[in-house]
């Protein structure tokens, strides 16, 4: 049996488990706070799906099952689960400090669905939350190399008033293209900002285009201070908080 066959069998096993997990409500949204570097105030959060196993409560990170869903073209259903859960949560915490924009990672497979933007709008409108409180994240690589299909997806989402984030950025391409597509915020990968020769100049380039910039993967106070000195306004990472349940996030913000 070759490597591809083994991977296919592994994917099928995970798919069977996922089908059962959906029925048993084992998937739950977790979030990681995004903080203002000047004040340490929570100004947003990134939603991250987790799989809670029923036997012992083990929390399985997305990286162990999402790739299989991507390869088998079954990821969109899980994306919609997260979108709907986060819309309900944002509505539920109205008039509390936890009422901040929530970012959701979505698969490029949604570009095949021409009704995605209108369906996203309906998901936000049903609990009555402003569209600017829901942000859509796609990787920089996907945005720049996904072709016209992805470009149309971003354009229609932006037209509905949702902010679009370029995730995991290493500035491998044309920032102006991201701006023209409708991206409003870029997240710099930790692998990039840790090795950048002139991060401050990079930040100035991003801001000159009218894009907001945030850093990912901040682990220490020293890194936080260096990013602030370079002019980066927002960041997330273990230095501020690990991913947490919605209930924990509500308390964290308070």
Q: Which residue has the higher pLDDT, 65 or 44?
A: 44
Do residues 97 and 40 make contact, with C-beta atoms less than 8 angstroms apart?
A: no
pLDDT digits (tens, 9 = 90+) for 152-176: 999 999 999 999 999 999 876 678 8
Q: Which two tokens stand for residue 108?
A: 């490029």
Any domain includes 2: no
What pTM was estimated for this model as a whole? Answer: 0.87
DSSP 85-113: HHHHHHHHTTTSTT---EEEE--GGGGG-
- Which residues have a Cβ under 8 Å from the Cβ of 145 and sit 6 or more positions away? none
**Quick check: is 192 in a domain?**
yes
Question: For position 71, which CATH number holds?
Answer: 3.20.20.450
Asked if residue 8 belongs to a domain, the reply is no
What is the rounded CA–CA span in Å between residue 245 and residue 250?
Answer: 9
Banded pLDDT at 5 (limits 50, 70, 90): very low
Long-range contacts of 52-61 (CB under 8 A, 24+ apart): 52/26, 52/27, 52/28, 53/26, 54/24, 54/26, 59/30
State pLDDT tens for residues 97-126: 999 999 999 999 999 899 999 999 999 999
Q: Is residue 19 part of a domain?
A: no
Domain limits at 249? 27-253
Helix (H, G, I), strand (E, B) or coil at 31: strand
Kindly state whether residue 16 falls inside one of the protein's structural domains: no
Tally the domains of the chain. Answer: 1
In a domain, 11, yes or no: no
Question: Distance between CA 131 and CA 134 in Å, rounded?
Answer: 6
In a domain, 22, yes or no: no
For the chain, give the mean pLDDT.
88
pLDDT digits (tens, 9 = 90+) for 136-157: 999 999 999 889 999 999 999 9
pLDDT digits (tens, 9 = 90+) for 75-88: 888 899 999 999 99
Residue 206 belongs to a domain: yes
């Amino acid at each position: 049996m070759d490597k591809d066959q083994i991977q296919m069998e592994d994917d099928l096993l995970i798919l069977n488990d996922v089908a059962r997990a959906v029925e048993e409500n084992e998937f739950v949204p977790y979030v990681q706070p995004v903080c203002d570097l000047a004040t340490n105030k929570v100004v947003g959060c990134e939603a991250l799906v987790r799989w809670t196993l029923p036997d012992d409560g083990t929390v399985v990170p997305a990286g162990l099952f999402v790739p299989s869903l991507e390869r088998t073209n079954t990821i969109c259903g899980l994306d919609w689960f997260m979108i709907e859960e986060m819309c309900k949560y944002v509505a539920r915490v109205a008039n509390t400090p936890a009422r901040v924009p929530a970012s959701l990672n979505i698969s490029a497979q949604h570009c095949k669905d021409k009704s995605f933007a209108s369906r996203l709008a309906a998901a936000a409108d049903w609990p009555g939350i402003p569209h600017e409180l829901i942000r859509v994240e796609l990787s920089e690589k996907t945005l720049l190399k996904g072709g016209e299909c992805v470009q149309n997806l971003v354009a229609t989402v932006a037209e509905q008033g949702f902010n679009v984030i370029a995730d995991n950025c290493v500035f491998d391409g044309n920032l102006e293209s991201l701006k023209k597509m409708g991206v409003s915020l870029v997240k710099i990968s930790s692998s990039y900002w840790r090795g950048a020769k002139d991060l401050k100049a990079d930040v100035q380039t991003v801001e000159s285009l009218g894009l907001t910039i945030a850093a990912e993967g901040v682990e220490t106070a020293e890194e936080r201070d260096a990013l602030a000195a370079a002019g980066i306004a927002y960041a997330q990472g273990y230095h501020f908080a690990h991913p947490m349940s919605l209930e924990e996030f509500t308390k964290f913000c308070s």
